[in-house]
Amino acid sequence: MTYSRRVTALAVSFLPLLFAPAFADSDVLWKIVHDKCVVQTAPCISVNTAEHYAMLKDLRGVAQFLLIPTDKITGIESAALLDPATHNFFADAWAEQGDVDARLPHALPRDGLSLAVNAQQARSQNQLHIHVDCLSADARATLKTDADKIGADWSPLPDAIAGHKFVAMRVNGETLGDFNPFLALAKTLKDPTKEMGDHNLVVVGASFADGPGFIVLTDVATTGMGGEDVQDHSCAIMH
């Protein structure tokens, strides 16, 4: 059996779990990464042992990938993410854009790639995972319109995106190497250990007049509304 067929076969073996009603097993992603990917890579497409994460093609979407830590980190509420020594998983996710691009006719523009983490109540899996995928056309247009109103400090985004009333900030730089969105969010909270889990967190690439950067978005989740809502898993902006 070829490597590609072996990867496909292993991925298919997890289909009953992934399509179980309401993701009945909230540890499916952890089991995939811990029991399979760290042992033999497949069904993940890569495992970065130095940075402690794996990349898995999501079953939804043409180009959606999940960055999943290989250590047990339940989600955005995890105390591990408040430790500056923990790897900057958002920076890692941005660096993996090539995985998304490889599934598309051509590379995404900088402002077309988004990274999203859902709040605790807006997710089905209890293993941290960053959705790496295309930004929706509506979200892209809104951020382009509002870009000049977004500063280096958190402030309300003038316009809603996918029903979310985000607060936003801009970050300058080609990469996220010197900026950790989890820690930036934590600094705004009175008790991060209790409040982080209530928040969605999104990072979108941007090109400002003075150079490349990012727009970071967060809001307090309402029922069923996750940060992933800003993404378009069909990647219509590429059509």
pLDDT tens for each residue of 10-65? 343 444 444 334 456 899 999 999 999 999 999 999 999 999 999 999 999 999 99
Q: Is the pTM of this model over 0.85?
A: yes
How high is the pLDDT of residue 224?
A: 82
How high is the pLDDT of residue 70?
A: 98
* Radius of gyration of the CA atoms of the chain, in A: 17
The closest alpha carbon to 59, from 17, 96, 94, belongs to 17
pLDDT tens for each residue of 148-158? 999 999 999 99
Which one-letter amino acid corresponds to residue 33? V
What domains can you pick out in the chain, each with its CATH number?
3-238 (3.30.428.30)
Rounded-to-10 torsion of CA 105, 108, 109, 113: 160
SS3 232: coil
Task: In whole angstroms, give the CA distance from residue 43 to residue 19.
Answer: 16
SS3 131: strand
